[in-house]
Amino acid sequence: MAINSSSGGSYSRRRSRRRHQPMSEINVTPFVDVMLVLLIIFMVAAPLLTVGVPVDLPKTSANELQGDKEPLTITVNTDGKVFLQETEIDITEIVAKLRAIAKGGYNERIYIRGDAQVNYGKVMQVMGTISAAGFNSIGLVTQREEKEP
């Protein structure tokens, strides 16, 4: 019985060449894993990117306002200090700085964030100062009440 060694060797060579050919499929599993991790990171980080002055807002059952651009924000913290966006300012400087910043003129939307523990008169003093200067779109910011199930 004779065995032809050349045919057996060529068969195994052809077979081995097929095994080492480059794969033309793209493996998307690592890509999807990275995207899901990034999604989770951004979901956690997004609430932390809001206005930087920490205040305990009063709770109400009012609905959220929808807006297309970020409004100017004035914050009154528990110590009675007044902040324009994230910069502390004196109450006498509010009108001058708002006029310099307001792109929409006197129709610029201005939100006032007053801490729940601050004196109501201090928040009204800030609101009255802004209103007396001619700004007519002023809103008070509150936190939505969480309803118990």
Please write the tens of the pLDDT for every residue from 7-32. 555 555 555 556 667 777 788 888 89
Please write the tens of the pLDDT for every residue from 74-110. 888 888 888 888 888 888 888 888 888 877 677 778 8
72-99: b or e for each residue (b if 16 or more CB lie within 10 Å)? bbbbbbeebebbbeeeebeeeebeebbe
Residue pair 109/71 in contact (Cβ under 8 Å)? The answer is yes
Distance of CA 114 to the CA centre of its chain: 21
Say whether pLDDT at 130 is over 80: yes
Residue pair 86/49 in contact (Cβ under 8 Å)? The answer is no
